[in-house]
Amino acid sequence: MLLVASCVIGFLALAEVNEYTEAKNAENTDAIEKIEFHNFHETLLTITQAIKELKKYTEENQEQQKRLIVLQKELDTLSNDIKKIESGQASVKDALSSVSSRFQQELEGLKNSSEELSADVSQVKENQTNVQNEFSDLSSDLEKLQSTFKAKVISLESELAFARKLIVYLLILFFVILLTVFVTLILHQFRKNSQNLAKIVEGLQQATGKLKDELVEKSRQNIDRLEDELLERLQPAMDKLSAAQTFSDEDGQPPSQHSVISEYQPPSCASAPMMITITTKVLDQLQEKTSIAEQKRPGDEVGFGLVGYVVGNWEQLYISGLLNPGKKARYSPGSVHEDLKAQANELKRYQFLNPQVGYLGFAHRHPGAMEKPSEGDRKTDITNVVDAFKENGKGGFVYAILIKEENGNGWDIFWYYMPREEIEYFPFTPRVVEAPALPKAWNSKLEYRVQAEMSCLRECAEILSLETLEREETSYLSILLVAKRWNGTSLLFVIHEDYPFLPPAVYLQRQQGKVEKYQSQLIEKWQPTYSLANIVFEFDDKIA
């Protein structure tokens, strides 16, 4: 009975295992089909085959149990028969013995069957143990499969998240590329429009430049024509003035009449001038302009041209003015290159006031403490002297080096003279004289020019009056009234002390009518080379 119960329990356990296995199999069928683990499938088939064999052995045990039940019934019948036999029937002993022998045989057969059944049961238990082991292996494989599946799912989720991010980045990149293409197209169109606009602007500039050149050329031709007419009319008066004129400075007095500040110490060369003179006014201007230049360019050299008069055959030099470096001058710590064109124009203005004024040399500041000309100064100065004077001819230039005083309040000036005959620096000390700096009326300061202009005006108009008005003891105005020969028209010139550097104010009166301001193009574009006669000629052209 224990054997039968064990078989039944084993059968039930196998049934539960089978049911549990089928349930697990049903739960994980989808995952197994997706992942396709080949080895696990073979293991499952093996377990299924073992379960089938176990079912077969269980069915055989059930048949044995049925046979045991039948035998038990027969034993009960035999027991009843034995009881009947024991009650007095001796004849039954033979039958009983035969039945006993048969029973013994059957019992031995049953024992044999029981041993076989025990062996089968042990085999079943062994199979059950194997099944349990395989089931545990299957469970561990399932756990591994689940963990692998979860890891795979997590990996797939991370890959999916990465794919989503990648898609977002790709979309952003696509929009950026699209925006870049759009901007590129806009820039290309803008560049194309800019090129077209640049071409238009260039064309306008060319047309404007051409028109400007034409206007400038036409104005230049008119100015040249007017200057030629003026020079032609002024030449006789200028010739007379040059023949009668004696050397004098800007206030009309000879230099010898000024008070002397310091005496002349000539250079130690054979061809030294008898006298080199400079006014305190020029010295003050030189130091003042050098100080201003030092503030603007503290580490660079800055210089100014020296202009003045030459008396006789380079016997006396009189420094009376300075030439500015010019707007296009180039500066450096070791050199200064003047704007020669600007200096030439400024020299022309000096010469217009007095034709005897010429270029006499150059003064410049050294940023350091070197009081002698540098090697670069030497090369430049030799070139200028050689170019300005003929070989073995008399003449030379004055050079000055300015060094800051030790107390920093002023300048020490070192003077040098380089003659053409010897081409070397010779130090000297100029004679310094004091010259008055108060302004003069143009008709007293520039007497020779007044005479020349008045002579020219008499050729083209009738001069009614010329008066000079003094204002505040230092400023002067000259009033010149000119009458035309026809229609009774009069021109009134009001001339400032800075004439001809500043234009005159011109007023017009027609036949004793109201006085009105005369609109002159020459006044708007006034140059120091113009004269009052130019304005009269311009008025003639408008009246004609």
Strand-pair category, 426-428 with 462-471: unpaired
Whole-number pLDDT of residue 25: 52
pTM of the model: 0.39
pLDDT tens track for 332-351: 877 778 888 888 888 887 77
Residues near 64 by beta carbon (within 8 Å), at least 6 away in sequence: 113, 117
Residue appearing with tokens 């073979």: 42
Whole-number pLDDT of residue 116: 78
Q: Which residues pair with 151 in a beta bridge?
A: none
Residues near 157 by beta carbon (within 8 Å), at least 6 away in sequence: none
Whole-number pLDDT of residue 414: 93
Residue 458, CB-side half-sphere exposure with 13 Å CA sphere:
10
**Number of helices (H), then strands (E), in the chain:** 11, 16
Whole-number pLDDT of residue 96: 62
User: First-to-last CA distance in the chain?
Assistant: 161
Q: Looking at domain 255-433, what is its CATH homologous superfamily?
A: Cytidine Deaminase, domain 2 (3.40.140.10)
CATH, range 442-543: 3.10.110
Residue type, 95: A
Strand-pair category, 358-365 with 396-404: parallel
Residue 222 buriedness (CB in 10 A; 0-12 / 13-18 / 19+): middle
Q: Where are the alpha helices (DSSP H) in 389-531?
A: 442-445, 447-460, 521-524
- Domain spans in the chain, listed from the N-terminal domain onward: 2-169, 255-433, 442-543
CA angle 421, 422, 427 (to 5 degrees): 120
Q: Which residues of the chain have pLDDT under 50?
A: 1-10, 13-14, 17, 32, 227, 230-231, 234-235, 237-257, 436-440, 471-475, 485
Residue type, 72: Q
